[in-house]
Chains A and B, each alone.
Chain A
Amino acid sequence: MAYKIVASQCTNCTACEALCPNLAISEAKGTFVIDPALCTECIGHFETPQCVAICPVDDTCVLDASQPRYQAA
Chain B
Amino acid sequence: MGRKLKFEIFRYNPNDPKLVPHTDLFDLEETDSMTLFIALTRIREEQDPSLQFDFCCRAGICGSCAMVINGRPGLACKTLTKELPNNITLMPLPVFKLIGDLSVDTGTWFRAMNENVGSWIHTDKSFDPNAQEERMENAVAEEIYELERCVECGCCVAACGTANMREDFVGAVALNRIARFMLDPRDERTEKEYFEIIGTDEGIFGCMGLLACEDVCPKNLPLQDQLGILRRKMGWTAVKQLFNFRKTR
The yes or no verdict on A and B being binding partners is no
The residues of A with any CB-CB pair to B shorter than 8 Å are none
